[in-house]
Structure 1
Amino acid sequence: MKIALLGTNFGQAHVAVYAARTDMEVVMFGRDPQKTAHAAGQFGLASSTDMDAAFTDPSFDLVDICLPVPLHASYVLRALEAGKHALVELPLADDIEDAKRVTAAAARSDKHVFVDMFERFIPANQALFDAASEGTYGRLKQLTLWNMTAPLWPGASLGLKALPLEAMHSDMDIITRALGVPQDVTVTSVARDKDSAAIEAIFGFDGATARSSISSLMPKAWGARGGYTATFEHGILDATSTMGFDGKPSGTVTAYTAYTAYTADGPHELDLPSADQYTDMIEHVMAVLRGQAENQISPDSVLQALQLTLDIDQRVNRNRTTGQRPR
């Protein structure tokens, strides 16, 4: 497997996984020759600024797109036209019609398209999805998701313009996978400056409610913390995770049940496997390409979450520029 990795910023999260494997060859592509060579050299990889070669060189099997969001859809389409598989960072697109065009093109192609919905590979989230789909604790009634971070990524803005697509999209995927499409949405926001802000979104369903709380207002000493509380008819799953300056996350999921019929020992921490979501996501991509698994992060599987994310983005940023009150 030969991979063209486009992008030197978030692309480093992917290249660290590739570099640990022995079954692939990777070339990192970027616009700045020095920056690209430095990023690739840290992992002993070749680098190039000739982005066109990722599509015209027949030796590349997969194009991994870690470029700015407005380029995602067009580069996936270009990869398919060149007869290559594509892995694209989330979100798939910043326009739902572009996302639908990619979905249709992928359906027509014999090549695979993968969207990096990495949160689906986090064991704590898998525990939530399983409990919701299998009815382990009865019906899911209330879901609260929260993520609060300091500015841990130099040069990256986490202001109102960036938060919906860059930070809330994963929450929208969790919500739609666990509860479906909401009937109503209420959004409020606050900004400290152009690079730090917070958004609160509340979602109404038939017999259930959900909330997503995102903030980049925290001081550096805070690091990054998040989690969820999922309240079912007969129990609760409570997840917490933290990440400090070492970049190593830790987390737990605790189950609280209302009736002894569901557990004999009351509140208890779930025994979840240790996992790295990017490693598991890329392993899934490789398994699909080897014909050993069905694609679980295909474009059609992200459309509901993307539509919800774009709706929030429009409300937050349209209302901010026009002075309208979010609803």
Structure 2
Amino acid sequence: MIRIGILGAGTMGKMHAAAYAGVADATVVGVYSRDAERAATVAAICKAHPSTDAPRLIDHPGIDAIDVCLPTPVHPEFVLAALRAGKHVFCETPLALQLGDAWEMQEAARRADRLLQVGLLMRSVAACEHVKSRSLSGKHGRLVSVTAWRLGSYLRADAPDRKTHYSDPSTELMTFDFDLIHWLMGRPATISATAVQTAHGPGEISALLHYEDGRHATVTASGLMPPGFPFAAGFRALFEHALYEQSTVFDTAGPPTSTFTIVEGGQPRRPVRVQDRNPYQVQLQGFVDCIAGRANHDLLDASRAYEALVLSTATQRSLAERRPVEID
């Protein structure tokens, strides 16, 4: 049995706590939050002990792994502390805001001989796996372009999803889709980005990824949707002989609603049947299986998150320098 400590009792902490209930061979020992009431609430979900002492939870001799669900700016601090304590680590996306911090965390995991995996959620979404499998099989010909979007209102002061600890969309939102595109299409040659600027920086960004063989991808992320606009994310994957489209709307009035469709040849649009599953549970099961030596760690390895952060950083450079940026 792999014993887990969760750091963070916000939305992601709650989702991870609930997901571990369906993860085989794993149990949550403790949940940390600075707020004792929030720690108790999330701990109750997974029948764990609440804690307001992060170092004590990290150093707990009965814990094998730490799951970091804290705000992105403090990821390096807590990930490094957990690795130094000899724990395996699962960290929510994005791994870090700066490439130097992400590199340091990877090196710390290597020195400690411990796993460092990242919540690259799109790789565990059934629709994305389906498109990946079709790309590998060549069933629809070559994958020629991907368009992805992630749209919210969190940068508006009056928005219900306002998160003061969020940074600009290039990391907090686009990292997920940069990783998806890197997984499906490989590393691009250049990135060109434009943005709608606010008093606090970019509020909506569009990035065009160019490939040397003529393919391209587009990622759009926004924190400027009207306050009444429910958070929405999705993608279109264009093959030579088919088009897939996936869309998810996170309405506060109920659970998220998703559609996944295909248009193939002269046939009308039709739904694609994929396994109905919780991607958070899938990725956490993979983490536990990797610790137990039952799975390949490459899918969610920190190096994959580093590659996505390279694209986020290139987007920031393109905006600052107003030119296309080559991807080294």
Which TM bucket (shorter chain)?
A: 0.7 to 0.9
Shift, 1:266, TM fit: 6.0
Between 214-223 and 48-57, the greater mean CA deviation after superposition: 214-223
Note the residue ranges of structure 2 that are not aligned, 5 or more in a row. none
Between 72-81 and 293-302, the greater mean CA deviation after superposition: 72-81
Task: Give the TM-score, by structure 1 length.
Answer: 0.86
In 2, Cα distance between the equivalents of 1:158 and 1:142?
Answer: 33
Structure 1, residues 149-184: CA drift from partner, whole Å, max 9, x if none? 24476441497x331111110011011112222222
Between 85-94 and 287-296, the greater mean CA deviation after superposition: 287-296
Candidates 251, 256, 276, aligned match of 1:249: 256
1:294 aligns with: 296
2:19 aligns with: 17
In 1, Cα distance between the equivalents of 2:69 and 2:245?
Answer: 32
CA contact (8 A) 2:168 2:202 kept: no
In 2, Cα distance between the equivalents of 1:297 and 1:210?
Answer: 22
Between 198-207 and 187-196, the greater mean CA deviation after superposition: 187-196
Shift, 1:247, TM fit: 4.9
1:276 has 2:278 as partner: yes
In 2, Cα distance between the equivalents of 1:8 and 1:164?
Answer: 25
1:228 has 2:235 as partner: yes
1:8 has 2:15 as partner: no
What are the within-5 Å matches in structure 2 for residues 159-174 of structure 1?
161-174=167-180
Task: Give the TM-score, by structure 2 length.
Answer: 0.85
Between 280-289 and 189-198, the greater mean CA deviation after superposition: 189-198
CA contact (8 A) 2:191 2:314 kept: no
In 1, Cα distance between the equivalents of 2:293 and 2:279?
Answer: 21
Candidates 180, 183, 186, aligned match of 1:177: 183
In 2, Cα distance between the equivalents of 1:48 and 1:309?
Answer: 34
In 2, Cα distance between the equivalents of 1:164 and 1:247?
Answer: 28
Distance 1:15 1:217, change over 3 A: same
2:60 aligns with: 57
Shift, 1:109, TM fit: 3.9
Q: Which amino acid aligns with 2:120?
A: M
What are the within-5 Å matches in structure 2 for residues 66-81 of structure 1?
66-81=69-84
- The count of residues paired between Structure 1 and Structure 2 equals 315
Structure 1, residues 110-163: CA drift from partner, whole Å, max 9, x if none? 42221111111111111222222332211111211122224476441497x331
Between 303-312 and 10-19, the greater mean CA deviation after superposition: 10-19
In 2, Cα distance between the equivalents of 1:171 and 1:8?
Answer: 25
SS in structure 2 opposite 1:86?
strand
Note the residue ranges of structure 1 that are not aligned, 5 or more in a row. 260-264
SS in structure 1 opposite 2:97?
coil
In 2, Cα distance between the equivalents of 1:63 and 1:153?
Answer: 30
Between 36-45 and 235-244, the greater mean CA deviation after superposition: 36-45
In 1, Cα distance between the equivalents of 2:132 and 2:294?
Answer: 22
CA contact (8 A) 1:164 1:313 kept: yes
1:187 aligns with: 193
In 1, Cα distance between the equivalents of 2:101 and 2:200?
Answer: 27
CA contact (8 A) 1:18 1:26 kept: no
- Percent identity (aligned): 27
Structure 1, residues 172-211: CA drift from partner, whole Å, max 9, x if none? 1011112222222111111456499211111111220110
SS in structure 2 opposite 1:222?
coil
CA contact (8 A) 1:158 1:195 kept: no
Between 178-187 and 245-254, the greater mean CA deviation after superposition: 245-254
1:90 has 2:96 as partner: no
CA RMSD, Structure 1 to Structure 2 (Å): 2.6
1:204 aligns with: 210
